[in-house]
Amino acid sequence: MVSPVRSICIVGGGTAGWLTAGIIAARHASESGRGLQITLVESETIGIVGVGEGTWPTMRTTLKKIGISETDFFRECNASFKQGAKFARWVTGEESDFYYHPLVLPQGFPSLDLAPFWTKYSDEHADAPSFSDAVCFQQAVCELGLAPKLITSPEYAGVANYAYHLDAGRFAAFIRDHCVKNLGIRHIVDDVTDVVKKDTGDIDYVETSKSGRLGGDLFIDCSGFRSLLLGQTMGVPFVECSDVLFIDRALAMQVPYDDAQSDIVPHTVSVAQKHGWIWDIGLQSRRGVGYVFSSNHTTADAALAELRAYVGDEHRDLQPREIRIVPGHRQTFWKGNCVAVGLAGGFLEPLEASALVLIELSADMISTMMPATRETMDIVAKRFNETTRYRWDRIIDFLKLHYILSKRTDSKFWIDNRDPDSIPDSLKEQMELWRYRAPGDQDFTSNNEMFPAASYQYVLFGMGFRMDTRVSPLDRDIGTAQRAFAQNETLKVKWTKTLPKNRDLINKIKELGLQKI
Amino acid sequence: MRLVELSRSEHAGLRIRDDLVEASAASQHLIPIVVSEFRKAAIQYPIVFSKNPETGRFAPYVMNGLGLQENLFWSGTEMDVAYVPLNVRRLPFYVGTNDDAPDTNVLCIDLDNPCLDGSGGKRIVNPDGSDSAYLKEMLSILGALVAGKAATEQFIATALSLDLLTPILLDIVLDDGTPLQVEGLYSLDEEKFRQLDEGEIAKLWKTGCLDLIYTVLIASGQIIKLIRLKNQRIALSRAWHSNAG
């Protein structure tokens, strides 16, 4: 006697809930009536956290997969293009200090590794270009405020790799409408009052105020920081990582543009401050700006003063929203017949926009590994937990990498961040290897890697890390490298001449639309 | 290009050499056409679709060459073809719009077009000030282009709604060994077209789109003509170099 998995109950309707619903429904033909039945219950009284405004390029595939038109997405979600991140004042704190983590891979990567050639050249030339500028044309595109594609580019295709900035509130509503209208998801607006378990320890049903009991063979916890199902009901403990990543507080603001047609910056800007860093994200109608800091190193008032200094006196009337972050994640993410996606599973500071991508990856994994029966669910759960834990660990390593190379000494925050006791062993090991050779795919061998080796290169060399190239000789003839550097310069000229301004293209997409092909 | 609104009085003295008009297309590898031209175009050219670089919208074109700025039908003095598209024949005239009344069409002339030449035999107005037969012919060509615009857009919309447009993939190696690559060109997907159900085919027939689809499918074979012309050029250039050597 087997118990087939036929119905899913998702609790919570923020970005996590609706994206998960959409991804599973699109694969499992929920609209046909013969596939998996999905119910999503969300509260009217509990708002969404909604600060996830930066995506990865994966979002293009995700939206396409669930059947959304990119044109509609731009029209409805206040969305704009994101071509990576610009990190300012992270190394020395000086005004001129910046580097890019673009989304386009270094020229020739991974078959060609330009890092040792660039290192050698910049050892010998004081006026050498920065790593990101020397190996990737996208920095030049970003510095000029250009879009990553043309009006003739098909939906979801680009000249340069890109992701999005979006309004999280509007995005959740947009995906919700699509899910309800086109993907056959049952939507219930109600408050969950109780979660009731069976003798086996599985969740039996959730009790709601007006809609009665909602059952399911699998429950997906998208209830946000509360972690109503996985944390509160299933009792899965929380693993804090504040000993590695110190940021535990955010002050967020929505800053209007001077002019409705002001340029939209086509990348995330991250400006290091005394006790953390400020994000600055350009949407169509406003900027999202926020200061994430460590409350162990400064007070909210002092942080607010830093944030106000950044946004300028003309916005002194804006009131920030304060968000408390406990950095970390659940010990496991799937227990019994309950799996958590989004904040219910954990959260780290928004550096490198890992929140939304983890939702996509988790939902995708649940969808593709969907157990056919309750009996096989524990096997899937075990694999899901291993992979998800691996992903969290890699994100933590990669975020920490941004801090350990800073030369800033203007506060205890930056000095404490370099304390070896605060650096995970896995990262320490990598750093040992990278003293003599650049990060490569051989350092990241899982099928479930988060960041490509190229991302480590961008951050490592952007932060001023110096490799010792004397020990191991360059493994390729210099001619190949020179051609790749020259090709990068050619691409820079070509695309900075051809690509439109970010705002102009977004206006055009809203007016004329992009073609599907 | 210097486009101005045509004035019968101010431009009365202009002379046009109509034998120079086709020279404007000497380095155009694509020329836009309207659906009313499809049948005539099909006896000469492949009919393809491409996006307007300003709007991203699809429009139909005849193909003169396999690469940018290549017109294999250009003989050096004229287009050596059975049919010259309206968008060439109308030159040096254009249809513009007036900023004050965007829906009204305005007759414009390009004062920089080389076919404006004092030695030309065509004039805009007769000595009595009435429109010349030449201008009347130009007006009827422009009229056909304006009239064909809506029908052409309708055809494109229909093709897109049925997912019939598909990027052109050519797997051809020219006689000098260069693989032929075309970018940004689309054709009709014959396989998808064959899978349409009766109801959809009936709709296409009623709206006149069915004829157009067959015309485009048949015209696609004209690509062979372009490849032959291109290979002839390669052979000529080889012969030239071996003689010179």
* A117, HSE (Cβ side, Cα atoms, 13 Å): 19
Q: What pLDDT digit, counting tens, does each position of B137-187 carry?
A: 999 999 999 999 999 999 999 999 999 999 998 778 888 888 877 788 999
> Considering only A136-140, A189-193, A361-365, B128-132, which range has the smallest mean pLDDT?
B128-132
CB atoms within 10 A of CB A1: 3
Q: Summarize pLDDT for A110-134 with one digit per residue, the tens.
A: 889 999 999 999 999 999 999 999 9
| Structure tokens that stand for A485 in this block | 């550097």
Report the residue from B165, B167, B184 with minimal CB separation from A152: B184
Q: Is the dihedral of CA B93, B97, B99, B104 positive or negative?
A: positive
Taking CA atoms, what residue in B is nearest to A498? Answer: B53
By Cβ distance, the residue of B55, B163, B186 closest to A512 is B55
Q: Which of residues 133-192 of A touch B (CB under 8 A)?
A: 150-153
Q: In the numeric block, which tokens belong to residue A78? A: 């206040």
Q: Are A431 and A459 in contact (CB under 8 A)?
A: no
Largest CA distance in chain A: 73
- B184 chain-A contacts, CB cut-off 8 A: 152
Whether the per-residue pLDDT at A378 is higher than 80: the answer is yes
Residue with the bigger pLDDT between A167 and B68: it is A167
Helix (H) or strand (E) holding B204, with range, is: helix B198-206
Tell me: pLDDT of A51 over 70: no
- Test A152 with B165 for CB contact under 8 angstroms: no
Q: How confident is the model at residue B39 (pLDDT cuts 50, 70, 90)?
A: very high
> Helices A453-462 and A425-434 meet at what angle, rounded to 10?
80
Å from A491 to nearest chain B CA? 18
Classify residue B70 by burial, with Cβ atoms within 10 Å: 0-12, 13-18, 19+: middle
Q: Which residues pair with A8 in a beta bridge?
A: A38, A218
Sheet holding B47-51, edge to edge: B30-32, B58-63, B47-51, B185-188, B165-167
DSSP state letter for A313: G
Contacts of B163 in chain A (CB under 8 A): 516
Q: What is the enclosing helix (H) or strand (E) of A479?
A: helix A478-498
Contacts of A517 in chain B (CB under 8 A): 165-167, 186
Quick: pLDDT tens for A7-16.
Answer: 999 999 999 9
Kindly state the tokens that stand for A246.
Answer: 């110190």
Q: How far is B132 from chain A (nearest CA, A)?
A: 40
Distance from CA of A284 to the nearest CA of B (A): 20
Interface of B with A in 172-201 (CB under 8 A): 184, 186
CA atoms within 13 A on the CB side of A96: 1
Query: What is the separation, in whole angstroms, between the first and last Cα of chain A?
Result: 48
Residue A415 has pLDDT above 80, yes or no: yes
Is the Cβ pair A152, B51 closer than 8 Å? yes
CA A496 to CA A480: how far, in whole Å? 24
Separation in Å, CA A71 to CA A64, A176, A498, B209: 11, 17, 21, 27
Instruction: Work out how many CB contacts closer than 8 A connect A with B.
Output: 31
Please confirm whether the linkage preceding A439 is cis (ω < 30° from 0): no
Angstroms from B160 CA to nearest CA on chain A: 9
Average pLDDT (A153-157) is: 96
Which run of H or E residues covers position A321?
strand A321-324
Q: Does B237 touch chain A (CB under 8 A)?
A: no
| Summary mean pLDDT of chain A | 95
Whether residue A450 is predicted with pLDDT greater than 60 in this model: the reply is: yes
B51 touches chain A (CB under 8 A): yes
The Cα of B53 is separated from the nearest Cα of chain A by a number of Å equal to 6
Residue given tokens 């004092």 in the structure block: B118
Q: Which residue of B has its CA nearest to A151?
A: B56
CA gap A34, B54 in Å, rounded = 45
Number of other CB atoms surrounding residue A306 within 10 Å: 17
Q: What is the pLDDT of residues A23-47, one digit of tens each?
A: 999 999 888 888 899 999 999 888 7
In the structure encoding, which two tokens stand for residue B16, read together? Answer: 């046009």
Query: Cα–Cα distances in Å, from A146 out to A267, A286, A390, A508, B181?
Result: 10, 18, 36, 14, 28
Sign of CA dihedral A221, A223, A225, A226: negative
Please check the confidence at residue B244 and state whether its pLDDT lies above 60.
Answer: no
Residue A327 corresponds to which tokens in the numbers above? 């950095």
Residues A474, A118: Cα–Cα separation, whole Å: 11
Instruction: Read off the pLDDT of each residue in A393-414 and give the average, rounded to a whole number.
Output: 97
Contacts of residue B187 in chain A, CB cutoff 8 Å?
none
Beta-sheet strand order (sheet of A276-282): A98-102, A84-88, A268-272, A276-282, A286-293, A249-256, A321-324
Q: Would you call A508 and B56 a contact, using CB atoms and an 8 Å cutoff?
A: yes
A212 pLDDT more than 90:
yes
Q: Chain A closest CA to B105's CA: distance in Å?
A: 22
Distance from A415 to chain B by nearest Cα, in Å?
52
DSSP state letter for B4: E
Q: What percent of chain B has a predicted confidence (pLDDT) above 70?
A: 99
Q: Rounded to two decimals, what is the model's pTM?
A: 0.91
Q: Residues A65, A68, A73, A79: what is their CA dihedral angle, to the nearest 10 degrees? A: -10
Q: Where are the beta strands (DSSP E) in A83-173?
A: 84-88, 98-102, 163-165
CA distance B205 to chain A (A): 25
The reply to whether B36 touches chain A by the CB within 8 Å rule is no
Instruction: Give yes or no for B136 touching A (CB within 8 A).
Output: no
Mean pLDDT of chain B: 92
B57 touches chain A (CB under 8 A): yes
State residue A45 phi and psi, 5-degree precision: -85, -30
What ipTM describes this predicted complex?
0.81
Residues of B in contact with A508 (CB under 8 A): 55-56
pLDDT of residue B240: 80
User: Nearest residue of A to residue B50 by CA position?
Assistant: A152
Alpha-carbon distance of A370 to A22, in angstroms, equals: 14
**pLDDT bracket for residue A472 (50, 70, 90):** low
For A317-357, write each residue's pLDDT tens digit: 999 999 999 999 999 999 999 999 999 999 999 999 999 99
Torsion angle of alpha carbons A455, A459, A464, A469, nearest 10°?
Answer: -20
Can you tell me the mean pLDDT for A195-223? 97
Q: Which residues pair with A35 in a beta bridge?
A: none
Q: Collect all residues of chain A within an 8 Å Cβ-Cβ radius of residue B165.
A: 517
Q: B residues 9-28 near A, CB within 8 Å?
A: none
Q: Is the CB of A476 inside 8 Å of chain B's CB atoms?
A: no
Report yes or no: A424 at the B interface, CB cutoff 8 Å: no
Give the residue-averaged pLDDT of A158-167.
Answer: 96
Per-residue model confidence (pLDDT) at position A241: 97
Mutate to test the interface with B, among A69, A151, A159, A506 (most CBs of B within 10 A): A151
Measured between beta carbons, which residues in chain A are less than 8 angstroms from residue B51? Answer: 151-152, 515
> Inter-chain contact A151–B160, Cβ cutoff 8 Å?
no
Nearest to A160 by CA among A509, A505, A499, A517: A499
* Listed residue (A311, A272, A205, A221) closest to A16, CA to CA: A221
pLDDT at A284: 97
pLDDT at residue A448, rounded to an integer: 86
- B53–A515 CB contact, under 8 Å: no
Q: Say how many residues make up chain B.
A: 245
CB-based contacts of A230, cutoff 8 Å, min separation 6: A221, A236, A330, A333, A335, A338, A339, A340, A344, A345
User: Which ranges constitute the DSSP H helices of A89-198?
Assistant: 115-124, 131-135, 138-143, 168-182
Query: Given this model, what pLDDT does residue B132 score?
Result: 94
pLDDT score for B1: 87
Specify whether the CB–CB gap between B170 and B182 falls below 8 A: yes
The token duo for A98 is: 């910046």
Tokens of residue A20, six digits: 């998960």
The answer to whether residue B78 scores a pLDDT higher than 60 is yes
